[in-house]
Amino acid sequence: MRKGKILIVDDNEEILLALKLFLGEQFEVVTEKNPNLIPSLLKQNSFDLFIIDMNFSTGKSTGNEGIFWMREILKMDKEAIIIFITAYGDIELSVRAIKEGATDFIQKPWVDEKLLATVLSAYKLRSSRMEIQKLKAKQAHISQSVADEQPLFFGESTAMKTVWETIRKVAITDANILILGENGTGKELIAREIHKISNRSKELFVKVDLASLSESLFESELFGHKKGSFTDAKEDRTGRIEVASEGTLFLDEIGNISLNQQSKLLSVIQNKQVTRIGDNRNIPIDIRLITATNKPLYEMAKNSEFREDLLYRINTIQIEIPPLRIRTEDIPPLLDLFMKKYSEKYKMPSLNYNKKHIQNLQKYSWPGNIREFEHLIEKAIILNDLEAFNVNESALSMQLSGSNDSLNLENNEKQLILKAINKAKGNYSSAADVLGISRKTLYNKLKKYGL
């Protein structure tokens, strides 16, 4: 167990020294005479316990000064554990302090055994509160993971059977894995399957879409932050990396982060510890790291766009997911899978397709891969229309040519986005560049139009 950190504030230097010597073997102890420095000390450090004198001004015994500083501490850390220490054995004062938020109360001169028992008990309470915070954060991620869960389909193609064999071999290890593949090929599903059959399967699978994080949100989302560390930090937040500890962390679109972000991420991976924004305490982590991208990381590393040291940290094992156009033998079973899924979802009958429909689907290049294929089947089920299966390159070109006379802004924007994605062969970063917008904006528009 790590050493807890205690801040002791008292205007008597002898008491500060005595407490530091007595508690110093079991805790990291910081002492301070001036209570006015408490806010600055809290901004620079994270404390597990506070031991505070109730009266700092000579001749005063009301306890108002101590209670004032307790309120200030609780404003900055609502989970703070505060023990008051005073020379005045006023029962009413101690009851008032505890009602106001104090954890316990010790009278000077103290009995060493009682003081130590009180401090140890308070530290256990702090540890329990921190564990509850962590569990709440984990529960939120569990709920989201359950909502995102999808059945995994490997298919009958030789290419996907090879992928499956690799997954079975590496899943039982803790090796870092890099998954490469075009957009829509199912990289996240592969990552979830690795976690599902790994030794960490009973722990959390935490996904972070790095492409959706702005520069300002990157650290807060991954590393967490302390309340008050920046303008919008209204409460403590546990970062995704900390939440994933003992489980699997999946960083999607890792090729999209800046060199500065790469450096910070590398430091966490190397040191196996994370520090929240506004906190100087290093938190140990134990994660299985899986990353994914559709970008050419090796080429980017040669062009100094991606750190080589980070690249070699994340790709102990590399898995490449083939695009749908080169494993067309998987289209028939995929068709059955999605027909069943959306027939049940919308309570509508399956469609009676024939061999010609299958051939049309197999001739098409599927720039959006399985994601595009799934959307097409969903649309066909909703409309109860087999014509949706008659997809081909020329039909797509006509659809994306903008040859209709519609002046509807949303319809035209949707077609323009589809055209850009097709031109970029499913690469969302390239499509965003073609459109002159950020990748995050493109993602938002894809969600808006259900693409």
User: Is the same domain home to 10 and 110?
Assistant: yes
Residue 392 token pair: 């081909």
* Pair 253, 168 in one domain: yes
pLDDT value at position 44? Answer: 82
How many Cβ atoms are within 10 Å of 122's Cβ, its own excluded?
21
Kindly give, in sequence order, each residue whose CB lies less than 8 Å from that of residue 287, ignoring residues fewer than 6 positions away: 241, 244, 245, 246, 247, 248, 249
- Indicate whether 386 and 368 sit together in one domain: yes
Structure tokens at 290: 């899986």
Of 151, 190, 157, nearest to 320 (Cα)? 190
Kindly state whether residues 8 and 98 are assigned to the same domain. Answer: yes
Per-residue pLDDT at 440:
75
Which of 98-107, 145-154, 396-405, 439-448 shows the lowest per-residue confidence on average (mean pLDDT)?
A: 396-405
Give the mean pLDDT of the chain. 84
SS3 149: coil
Last residue of a domain, one of 96, 129, 162: 129
257 and 240 share one domain: yes
More confident residue, 347 or 411: 347
Does 316 score more than 50 pLDDT?
yes
- How many Cβ atoms are within 10 Å of 227's Cβ, its own excluded? 16
pLDDT of residue 393: 55
The three-class DSSP label of residue 120 is helix
Residues listed for the chain: 451
Residue 144 located in a structural domain: no
310 with 356, same domain: the answer is: no
Same-domain pairing of 42 and 179: no
What are the E-state strand segments in 277-425?
282-284, 288-293, 317-320
% of the chain with per-residue pLDDT over 90: 43
Instruction: Give the CATH number of the domain where residue 239 resides.
Output: 3.40.50.300
Q: What is the pLDDT of residue 451?
A: 63
Rounded Cα–Cα distance for residues 228 and 209 (Å):
25
Listed residues 95, 129, 163: the one ending a domain: 129
What pLDDT sits at residue 373? 92
CATH number, domain of 418, equals 1.10.8.60
Domain-embedded: residue 409: yes
Residues 276 and 345 in one domain: no
Pick the more confident residue, 281 or 328.
328
Q: Which of 278, 302, 320 is the last residue of a domain?
A: 320
Alpha carbons within 13 angstroms on the beta-carbon side of residue 284 total: 5
pLDDT of residue 149: 53
Instruction: Identify the band that residue 399 occupies on the pLDDT scale cut at 50, 70 and 90.
Output: very low
CA distance 247 to 186: 21
- CA 441 to chain CA mean position, Å: 20
Per-residue pLDDT reduced to its tens digit, 195-204? 989 999 888 8
Structural domain contains residue 141: no
Q: Do 363 and 230 sit in the same domain of this protein?
A: no
For residues 279 and 270, what is the distance between their CA atoms, to the nearest angstrom? 20
Q: Can you tell me the distance from the alpha carbon of 68 to that of 185, in angstroms, rounded to the nearest whole number?
A: 59
Closest listed residue to residue 246, CA positions, set 208, 281, 272: 272
Q: Domain range holding 381? A: 325-449
pLDDT score at 114: 87
Tell whether 140 is covered by a domain.
Answer: no
Range from 105-114, 170-179, 362-371, 430-439 that averages highest in pLDDT: 170-179
pLDDT (average), residues 246-251 = 94
Burial readout 414-433 (b: 16 or more C-beta within 10 A, e: otherwise):
bbebbbbbbebebbbbbbbe
Per the domain annotation, does 277 fall within a domain?
yes
Q: How many structural domains compose the chain? A: 3
310 half-sphere exposure, CB direction, 13 A CA radius: 24
Q: Is residue 331 part of a domain?
A: yes
Decide: helix, strand or coil at residue 242.
Answer: helix
Query: Which of 61-75, 274-288, 306-320 shows the lowest mean pLDDT across its residues?
Result: 61-75
Identify the CATH number of the domain in which residue 105 sits: 3.40.50.2300
> In the predicted model, what is the mean pLDDT of residues 383-388?
88
Residues β-bridged to residue 28: 5
**Banded model confidence at residue 403, pLDDT cuts 50, 70, 90:** very low
For the chain, what is the radius of gyration of the CA atoms? 29
Both 157 and 85 in one domain: the answer is no
Sorting pLDDT into bands at 50, 70 and 90, what band is 147?
very low
Are residues 329 and 438 both part of a single domain? yes
Mean pLDDT over 104-124 rounds to 86
Summarised one tens digit per residue, pLDDT across range 291-304 is: 999 999 999 999 99
Does residue 422 belong to any structural domain of this protein? yes
**Taking the mean position of all CA atoms in its chain, how far away is CA 287?**
12
Q: Mean of the pLDDT values across residues 261-284? A: 91
**Cα→Cα distances 432→235, 437, 444, Å:** 35, 5, 11
Task: Say if residues 432 and 442 touch (Cβ distance below 8 Å).
Answer: yes
Q: In this predicted structure, what is the pLDDT of residue 105?
A: 81
Q: How would residue 111 be classed by pLDDT, with cut points 50, 70 and 90? A: confident
159 and 296 assigned to the same domain: yes
In a domain, 363, yes or no: yes
Q: In the prediction, which pLDDT does 398 show?
A: 45
